[in-house]
Homo-oligomer: A and B are copies of this chain.
Amino acid sequence: MTPITKKIGVLGAGQLGRMLAIAGYPLGQKFGFYGMNGEEPSALLGHMFFHSSDDVTSVDALAKFADVITYESENTSVEQVREIAKHTPVYPGEKSLFVSQHRGREKGMFDQLDIPCAPYQVVDSLESLKIAVEEIGLPAVLKTTTEGYDGKGQFVIKDADQIEQAWQAIGNRELILEGFIEFSRELSIIAVRNAANEHVYYPLVQNIHQDGILRYTIAPAQQISEAIQQQAESYMQKLLDELDHVGVLTLELFETLDGLVANEMAPRVHNSGHWTIEGAETSQFENHVRAITGLPLGSTAPRQTIAAMVNIIGETGPVETVLKMPNAHLHLYDKAERAGRKLGHINLVSDSPEALFEDLKALSGFMPK
């Protein structure tokens, strides 16, 4: 135990917990995870507290172990977090979780803070959906208000005769209709705040999705003016302060002719920040650990001209190719292969965009077909 050692309890035991632990041990922190079984990505990297038939007991054991609790997913139960927070601090706090796990509440907060976002309407019936389509126009995207990720629970309505089909496909629950945004690129920004009110921001990155799943990230995004970076940071500053947020906060954005439009946020370390492990002076994982344990935040400066993160999805693929590339860094999550599943990622660090794109070509075996 060093003077700065804290025991960190993580709700979840997936790859995000795994990478938090790998970043946190060098700071002298200790980890415990609330998980399903000993095969999960974090299982070997700290104490495991397994879900049981009596969930209250096992979460309670984690909370007793821990000096501070954090979580891997915005779908974590708010009730559970509120209960734990009576005795053990939970970061990010309940408000960050409550707002970001519901697209309607999230958009409401963007509106309240004058952060541009798509027009939207929460609907709970076919009739209210039809009215929303009238107001917002088409094309529009129908989404579940909660629990959607990696493009799941979404339906793009292009034509009025698809409304019923869309409702049947994901309906019979609360949904949100969002106006379609004409954008040139999908960007994201990661910010970190600690309880001493330090704020730090990583540079905007560009994210390339396929079928709703992030395939690769370019960091920093190229041809971003200082004004646009400042705009993104100003959105984040408002969100961090309004939420009294402690930890990493991620905001996905659309780049449009009128500036940046907010898409959605996540109160956690994020796939679009995985490049920071080798790519930034301090990784998003280390900065999250620093923030929630009350330590000073680290520099977010990139360590090279340009970096990229390539997701390994579905199958592990030709990893020996990666190991033979001098500037490539492999990160596997120890997960079994399954279609659409994130199994790992590759970080590339380069001296020039040209060199980076050559390296990306060499990784074509990991790219969408």
What is the minimal beta-carbon distance from A351 to any residue of chain B, in angstroms? 11
Which residues of chain A (309-351) have a CB below 8 Å from chain B?
A: 316, 319-320, 323-324, 326-327, 329-332, 334, 336, 343-344, 349
- Given the known interface contacts A1-B336, A25-B18, A295-B320, the answer about A326 and B46 at a Cβ–Cβ threshold of 8 Å is no
- Given the known interface contacts A334-B1, A343-B2, the answer about A301 and B326 at a Cβ–Cβ threshold of 8 Å is yes
Question: Cβ of A34 < 8 Å from any Cβ of B?
Answer: no
Which residues of chain A (275-318) have a CB below 8 Å from chain B?
A: 281, 290, 295-296, 298-299, 301, 303-304, 316
Report Cα–Cα, A327/B327, bound state, in Å: 20
- Given the known interface contacts A44-B45, A45-B45, A343-B2, the answer about A26 and B331 at a Cβ–Cβ threshold of 8 Å is yes
Report Cα–Cα, A123/B332, bound state, in Å: 52
**Contact assessment for B330 and A27 in the assembled complex, using a CB-CB cutoff below 8 Å:** yes
- Hey, which chain B residues are within 8 Å of A167, CB to CB? none
- How many residues of chain A get a CB closer than 8 Å to chain B's CBs? 42
Specify how many copies of this chain sit in the oligomer.
2
Which residues of chain A (127-165) have a CB below 8 Å from chain B?
A: none
- Hey, which chain B residues are within 8 Å of A28, CB to CB? 332, 334, 344
Report Cα–Cα, A136/B349, bound state, in Å: 52
Which residues of chain A (37-56) have a CB below 8 Å from chain B?
A: 44-47
Q: Which residue of B lies closest to A304 (CB)?
A: B303
**Contact assessment for A320 and B334 in the assembled complex, using a CB-CB cutoff below 8 Å:** no
Report Cα–Cα, A329/B44, bound state, in Å: 24
Question: Cβ of A120 < 8 Å from any Cβ of B?
Answer: no
Report Cα–Cα, A301/B304, bound state, in Å: 14
- Hey, which chain B residues are within 8 Å of A257, CB to CB? none
What is the minimal beta-carbon distance from A295 to any residue of chain B, in angstroms? 6
- Given the known interface contacts A26-B332, A334-B1, A334-B30, the answer about A299 and B281 at a Cβ–Cβ threshold of 8 Å is no
Q: Which residue of B lies closest to A325 (CB)?
A: B299
- Hey, which chain B residues are within 8 Å of A296, CB to CB? 320, 323-324
**Contact assessment for A30 and B2 in the assembled complex, using a CB-CB cutoff below 8 Å:** no
**Contact assessment for B47 and A316 in the assembled complex, using a CB-CB cutoff below 8 Å:** no
- Hey, which chain B residues are within 8 Å of A332, CB to CB? 2, 4-5, 26-28
Report Cα–Cα, A30/B303, bound state, in Å: 29
Which residues of chain A (186-212) have a CB below 8 Å from chain B?
A: none
What is the minimal beta-carbon distance from A317 to any residue of chain B, in angstroms? 9
- Hey, which chain B residues are within 8 Å of A363, CB to CB? none
Could you list 19 A-B pairs, sorted by A, with CB under 8 Å?
A2-B334, A2-B344, A3-B316, A18-B25, A22-B26, A25-B44, A25-B45, A25-B334, A27-B330, A28-B334, A44-B45, A44-B47, A281-B327, A290-B323, A295-B323, A296-B324, A299-B326, A299-B327, A301-B326
Q: Which 10 A-B pairs have the closest CB atoms?
A: A299-B326, A28-B332, A26-B331, A296-B323, A2-B316, A296-B324, A2-B332, A44-B46, A295-B323, A3-B316
Report A's interface with B, CB cutoff 8 A: 1-5, 18, 22, 25-28, 30-31, 44-47, 281, 290, 295-296, 298-299, 301, 303-304, 316, 319-320, 323-324, 326-327, 329-332, 334, 336, 343-344, 349
